[in-house]
Structure 1
């Protein structure tokens, strides 16, 4: 290196460090880049500082919506440091935020090849898999009843001469395989998702079906003869969500009629029709996830919330598994809509925006109407029907929530069904008053906000804790909860509390908090900020709330998360919660594995006759033949995950096989530990554990402790699903050891052999 270049490098390094120290990361990044490019021998020396600056600069650029600059900075940096796992992972995180999961997967796999135990890359890879392959594919493919019904229907129609088949929304291509195996002359499969199309291509090759023509397009973009050579005799599709119409099945089938179906040969669509059913229900589970009636808080909290109700901001409907929750049908289930997919005029009429049905339903008992639940029957033909209300169906119920209303027996509920942009919206009304006050204002908020305020046990705990601080000298308070109950209680009841600081960009939430402050005549001042850098003073007490409603900590992987908030405190300030513990319990569940991986045995129609099989053959051989007929699992399971979030007791059944115990304490930094679950009594249990259910134990203070593993918790829980090889290291009647790796709140769990 000549003297001039050496001088430039030294000056650039000094400038980079100066700008880094003053947090001018954009200029620091530019100078560090110059050093790294001009003097490769210094790269190892500056790599950590370079990475820190790049990551911070990338976040600032993203905040300014300069996404192309983010990509350029990371690509340039990775040319310099191609084996930096953190850099690769953070670049992938930006790609995920910009809806490019396929490219993100490439960088995440590179990161894990370099550093196999890098937890942020593991977690981001699972996020990427969930983005490129929707999770509903797994329970759908594991639904034996659905699969069997479609196979039988397809076989029947192909046998009747409907032998030119189009599979709309083919996914993995299972229905296409059914058609090919049934003897169809030609099979076309269209699938818009490029990842799913790649999976289908591998599936067809593996199942000796290379003649199935795979077209990576929407059905509405198919053209004759460019994409398919002739009109179609049989269209098969399973593009239905819990509310039947959510995946735009109606406009899709209209286009099929107009452009693809063979009218001369009386081409048909399977399913031929569908019936939608609806009922009014009382269900505390629905109520606590879709609305807040503040009058119920007055017995546990001294804040006045008069004349306010909150409902979910979801515009159409939510989906819920109601099999495992307490529910009372206040009206008899009734048919709301019936649609014939083989009638073009009927489809076109249904597709127009507006009211499609009005139903009058009589209440059969007294109760509180929490909303409407809907389900459907798919009539594949005149004999074969799939019922989505069946308990183990891959479809959940569609829920149309509303402000709870008191209903009496024999009251008439008027249900109105509307179509809007191809989707269904159902509302109802009565002459009765709302649950607490018919003059209240109704505010639409997020589900996180609603779930938090409906966790009455936690609200009660916060109220009791605020009483313990009532006489403490706490002039400046910060509460980072979805709604600052604790901070507002201090502002109201602590004579020394002058200021409450709250960080949010939501104008609706700001208005609601201000209304509560005014209604309660709070004398202190309320301060809103959009980010922490704007806060002008140190706090006397901070209540953190980095719990995500789906079951994990927010901002996982962020270094020194607690240290960041400690820096906002006065030297004698109080940071809550004091400690957080990660809890676990071994279970066996048939439901959970079906959410994350597919088994080929679930794809077969074991009840149908197979004309190619010898009825007198050995049953075990026949079973093996059935198992091998359709092979899909290998290809879609490339995108399986082992952690399932956003779980609650309604979503699955399980058998506890151990006591609950502390797995680890959540700390800043990297930590490894192991925990032993004592030997499992196998006398009454035929199966070994196949999952570990996990939640958090929140120690606000020594006196106030809360567990998130409870019904109506503000936070759902998660589960780690064990691989088959993990179960192989679990000998019966032996202790089971679990290894826990933690990185700034991000957790990885693995079964280890004794």
Structure 2
């Protein structure tokens, strides 16, 4: 047969390919040139389209155009984000990742957008992928650590480390299965541990459901590792959406769950169990038939709960939920009515309020005092569907608590005992070592002084399936004052012959009903900030000194003219009165005119925050023209530090440097760098310098809250290696004054951030620390000395600090003896600190070299 592939045919094909390549090359060249021109004119959308065309037609140019393409993508994404074109934004990233599937920078950036939009599960997957692509990628590390705290909350580790809790659940499940409950549904399975307990106990059918994508995938890994992937069906679904036979073939005889929070009902267990009884569980046994045919009836573990409470005095709770001072930084705060936190059970509070917050009472700074005996607030039977359905419509129960000692009524503290079955119980009480905190119902009334023999009226209800406890009145010698009226003005009922102090309190409430009728809600962290008088006083002194210096200089330069105003910009996060303190200082120093010497700009955005500042300004004699709200003048966040006027520079810029949780704010150094460029000669950034201090400690508590400890399997199951992937090297929201730990060294200076002088900064520092007490170094807690200027500074470790502390936790504790020296290598990357700890005598030994990194969060 003749050769079908003759030379002429091959030649013709080759020539056609050449013509096609020439046309393609021409198109690629023109598109690449157009993309660059569009970049020059900041037309990022068109440039992005051109780059897509170029890289699809000429993949060989990917390396050459990679950086320009990234830049274009990020700029175009910013525009799409600002325009609210979210779907277009994600479409662009999908197209980019098709071209560059292993570009860790693009993958990480996509995760950042997802996280900001609230898609935390999806964001975690992108951060994890970026970290796999490049394990030393600091941005991906920081992002993954930040997201890990959201996706796998720290109580998961405490729960798995709680051997007593795990064992009691295992005993209750084993007893139920051996008693005839052959089919089991684990609702909110988490790691899958309760479902595996049921299977190990001999259950014929085991199902599990989990809403969180991250925890669902984690549970799948755990089941596979323990050889149970084929015998436990796990669903990525909310139990309320489950149907028979679509999701499980038949009703089950046992539901196990631990969907309870510190307030018992906050995770929706009531709604969950009502749905389960109606759609997923076999019917409960009739009275007297509990043991007759267990395989034909359903039951729940836990079987029920008893809720307890006690009235407490606690300064730490008080300063986060009530304004405790009359003035800060020279500002009289009496110009406003009540300032309250978004935690309230009053009947007429806003929808945005929460009924309770949570605290671990045993760790609260300053401790607490019980003002009453503990009382029983509620009993609930989870195996009684009629009781569950009637819970929300129950009549409000009023309890009368006898005060056992004088004090200030700050809150009701609540805990519960979980009845797994008749023999196994778990308590979340303040004296128990448990993974639960206690629920705190703050008292925000202005009248809260109680005496021994008084009675406190408490209303207990379950509105919206939340447990609500509210102090409604105090009874003294037969006279009643209602707590809600103490927050709003005139009392609802006045006693006929009250004793003197009660009468004075009531009279005070009526002196200015117009003021008392005003109420402003601030976050609890913002209230604690207002109560931090030392910080505001130090700022007032530092600002006053700067104003004196600037005015003195200007008078010398302009002997016959009135000096120009001093421009002050406060870009603090959330609510801040620092701008108003600055404006008042200028107003008090005015010279012969009706205008203040300070023009203050505040970055607060919320309307009620602005109204509160305006009211405070008016009450303190600050002219309305002396305070402006800066974000009404800027179009986007990138311009937040722009000049007050084209020809003017800032005299002072106030930066919010430390997050309440104890970490450095993200992009702090970038903001400081920009701020320095916008300062006039002699101007200042507040604070000017931050010194980071730390020490070596031994703390089992930090280890238990950071990872599943030990080498032994949990109840015989291999869980630790999977959940410990979500450990993070930084523990936030610590109170070192109450943390259970042994101090193994004296505090040392770890690092310094100079916000006024970039040349004084460094990226790495070696710090030698001598061990003062033998033990195991498990963590390095750190805090900050915030230097407002050369003379005024405040510590985030002080007793009145509204900031918490943080600690880097070592994955492998380091055994040390007294007199040993450790070398800490401290490195700053952007706003994140990494620390490497090495014994000085064995600097190269792997078994004593532990690296931990702290990451700022962006939530």
1:451 alignment counterpart: 528
Q: Is the 8 A contact 1:203 1:635 kept in 2?
A: yes
1:475 alignment counterpart: 566
Following the alignment from structure 1 to structure 2, what is the Cα–Cα distance between the partners of residues 243 and 641? 27
Following the alignment from structure 2 to structure 1, what is the Cα–Cα distance between the partners of residues 26 and 180? 84
The answer to whether the aligner puts 1:528 opposite 2:629 as a matched pair is yes
Q: How far does residue 318 in structure 1 lie from its aligned partner after superposition?
A: 0.8
Cα distance change of structure 1 residues 664 and 26 upon mapping to structure 2, 3 Å threshold: farther
Q: Is the 8 A contact 1:294 1:308 kept in 2?
A: no
Q: How far does residue 365 in structure 1 lie from its aligned partner after superposition?
A: 1.9
Q: State which of 591, 594, 597 in structure 1 corresponds to 2:704.
A: 594
SS of 1:292's equivalent in the other structure is coil
Q: How far does residue 378 in structure 1 lie from its aligned partner after superposition?
A: 0.7
Mean Cα displacement is larger for which, 284-293 or 663-672? 663-672
SS of 1:710's equivalent in the other structure is coil
SS of 2:777's equivalent in the other structure is coil
1:310 alignment counterpart: 339
SS of 2:543's equivalent in the other structure is helix
The answer to whether the aligner puts 1:175 opposite 2:161 as a matched pair is no
SS of 2:684's equivalent in the other structure is strand
Following the alignment from structure 1 to structure 2, what is the Cα–Cα distance between the partners of residues 305 and 599? 52
Cα distance change of structure 1 residues 252 and 107 upon mapping to structure 2, 3 Å threshold: closer
Offset from partner CA, 1:682-714 (integer Å, 9 cap, x none): 5xx3x3111111222212111112221233423
Q: State which of 369, 385, 405 in structure 2 corresponds to 1:365.
A: 405
Q: Is the 8 A contact 1:12 1:34 kept in 2?
A: no
Q: Is the 8 A contact 1:142 1:602 kept in 2?
A: no
Q: How far does residue 340 in structure 1 lie from its aligned partner after superposition?
A: 0.6
The answer to whether the aligner puts 1:192 opposite 2:211 as a matched pair is yes
SS of 2:776's equivalent in the other structure is coil
The answer to whether the aligner puts 1:740 opposite 2:833 as a matched pair is no
Following the alignment from structure 2 to structure 1, what is the Cα–Cα distance between the partners of residues 263 and 713? 24
Q: State which of 763, 783, 787 in structure 2 corresponds to 1:695.
A: 783
1:275 alignment counterpart: 306
Q: Is the 8 A contact 2:209 2:238 kept in 1?
A: yes
1:749 alignment counterpart: 835
Q: State which of 382, 405, 412 in structure 2 corresponds to 1:341.
A: 382
Following the alignment from structure 2 to structure 1, what is the Cα–Cα distance between the partners of residues 714 and 102? 45
Q: How far does residue 155 in structure 1 lie from its aligned partner after superposition?
A: 2.4
Q: Is the 8 A contact 1:358 1:417 kept in 2?
A: yes
1:618 alignment counterpart: none
Task: Tell me the TM-score normalized by structure 1.
Answer: 0.87
Cα distance change of structure 1 residues 695 and 119 upon mapping to structure 2, 3 Å threshold: farther
1:633 alignment counterpart: 720
Q: Is the 8 A contact 1:738 1:752 kept in 2?
A: yes
Mean Cα displacement is larger for which, 128-137 or 663-672? 663-672
Structure showing greater radius of gyration is: 2
SS of 2:444's equivalent in the other structure is strand
Q: Is the 8 A contact 1:273 1:342 kept in 2?
A: yes
Q: State which of 17, 22, 34 in structure 1 corresponds to 2:40.
A: 17
Following the alignment from structure 1 to structure 2, what is the Cα–Cα distance between the partners of residues 289 and 356? 28
Q: Is the 8 A contact 2:265 2:467 kept in 1?
A: yes
2:466 alignment counterpart: 423
Cα distance change of structure 1 residues 61 and 694 upon mapping to structure 2, 3 Å threshold: farther
Cα distance change of structure 1 residues 502 and 47 upon mapping to structure 2, 3 Å threshold: farther
User: Which runs of no fewer than 5 residues in structure 2 stay unpaired?
Assistant: 1-21, 286-295, 344-353, 474-480, 488-504, 552-564, 591-595, 844-859
Q: Is the 8 A contact 2:654 2:687 kept in 1?
A: yes
Cα distance change of structure 1 residues 271 and 483 upon mapping to structure 2, 3 Å threshold: closer
Cα distance change of structure 1 residues 413 and 501 upon mapping to structure 2, 3 Å threshold: same
The answer to whether the aligner puts 1:378 opposite 2:411 as a matched pair is no
Q: How many residues align?
A: 718
Offset from partner CA, 1:255-276 (integer Å, 9 cap, x none): 2222232236342212111011
Q: Is the 8 A contact 2:34 2:47 kept in 1?
A: no
Q: Is the 8 A contact 1:119 1:747 kept in 2?
A: no
Following the alignment from structure 1 to structure 2, what is the Cα–Cα distance between the partners of residues 32 and 501? 42
The answer to whether the aligner puts 1:493 opposite 2:493 as a matched pair is no
Q: How far does residue 25 in structure 1 lie from its aligned partner after superposition?
A: 5.3
Q: State which of 506, 512, 516 in structure 1 corresponds to 2:616.
A: 516
Task: Tell me the TM-score normalized by structure 2.
Answer: 0.77
1:288 alignment counterpart: 319
Following the alignment from structure 2 to structure 1, what is the Cα–Cα distance between the partners of residues 626 and 598? 6
Following the alignment from structure 2 to structure 1, what is the Cα–Cα distance between the partners of residues 234 and 144? 27
Q: Is the 8 A contact 1:144 1:602 kept in 2?
A: no
SS of 1:645's equivalent in the other structure is strand
Offset from partner CA, 1:91-142 (integer Å, 9 cap, x none): 2111112233344344334433554433221110112323332332121221
SS of 1:517's equivalent in the other structure is helix
Q: Is the 8 A contact 2:771 2:817 kept in 1?
A: no
Q: Is the 8 A contact 2:577 2:613 kept in 1?
A: no
Following the alignment from structure 1 to structure 2, what is the Cα–Cα distance between the partners of residues 54 and 375? 51
Following the alignment from structure 2 to structure 1, what is the Cα–Cα distance between the partners of residues 683 and 53? 42
Offset from partner CA, 1:628-673 (integer Å, 9 cap, x none): x222112211222221222224774111111222222236999642
Following the alignment from structure 2 to structure 1, what is the Cα–Cα distance between the partners of residues 612 and 67? 44
Q: State which of 546, 560, 563 in structure 1 corresponds to 2:670.
A: 560
Following the alignment from structure 1 to structure 2, what is the Cα–Cα distance between the partners of residues 84 and 207? 34
Following the alignment from structure 1 to structure 2, what is the Cα–Cα distance between the partners of residues 183 and 324? 41
1:663 alignment counterpart: 750
Following the alignment from structure 2 to structure 1, what is the Cα–Cα distance between the partners of residues 227 and 69? 52
SS of 1:545's equivalent in the other structure is coil
Q: Is the 8 A contact 1:677 1:737 kept in 2?
A: yes
User: Which runs of no fewer than 5 residues in structure 1 stay unpaired?
Assistant: 606-628
Mean Cα displacement is larger for which, 198-207 or 338-347? 198-207
Q: Is the 8 A contact 2:240 2:275 kept in 1?
A: yes
Matched ranges for 1:91-110 at <5 A: 91-110=110-129
Q: State which of 665, 675, 678 in structure 1 corresponds to 2:766.
A: 675
Q: How far does residue 493 in structure 1 lie from its aligned partner after superposition?
A: 2.4
Q: Is the 8 A contact 2:305 2:418 kept in 1?
A: yes
Mean Cα displacement is larger for which, 343-352 or 85-94? 85-94
Offset from partner CA, 1:599-625 (integer Å, 9 cap, x none): 3678757xxxxxxxxxxxxxxxxxxxx
Cα distance change of structure 1 residues 33 and 191 upon mapping to structure 2, 3 Å threshold: closer
Matched ranges for 1:220-259 at <5 A: 220-259=240-279
1:612 alignment counterpart: none
2:5 alignment counterpart: none
2:84 alignment counterpart: 65
Q: Is the 8 A contact 2:35 2:48 kept in 1?
A: no
Q: CA RMSD in A?
A: 3.0
Offset from partner CA, 1:580-612 (integer Å, 9 cap, x none): 22322111111112222113678757xxxxxxx
Following the alignment from structure 2 to structure 1, what is the Cα–Cα distance between the partners of residues 54 and 689? 42
Following the alignment from structure 1 to structure 2, what is the Cα–Cα distance between the partners of residues 82 and 194? 23
Mean Cα displacement is larger for which, 188-197 or 4-13? 4-13
1:460 alignment counterpart: 537
Mean Cα displacement is larger for which, 193-202 or 526-535? 526-535
2:4 alignment counterpart: none
Offset from partner CA, 1:137-178 (integer Å, 9 cap, x none): 121221222112212222222333333322222211212222
Cα distance change of structure 1 residues 308 and 187 upon mapping to structure 2, 3 Å threshold: same
Following the alignment from structure 1 to structure 2, what is the Cα–Cα distance between the partners of residues 52 and 546? 28
Q: How far does residue 355 in structure 1 lie from its aligned partner after superposition?
A: 4.9
Following the alignment from structure 1 to structure 2, what is the Cα–Cα distance between the partners of residues 364 and 114? 62
Q: State which of 575, 578, 593 in structure 1 corresponds to 2:685.
A: 575
1:616 alignment counterpart: none
The answer to whether the aligner puts 1:150 opposite 2:227 as a matched pair is no
Cα distance change of structure 1 residues 232 and 4 upon mapping to structure 2, 3 Å threshold: closer
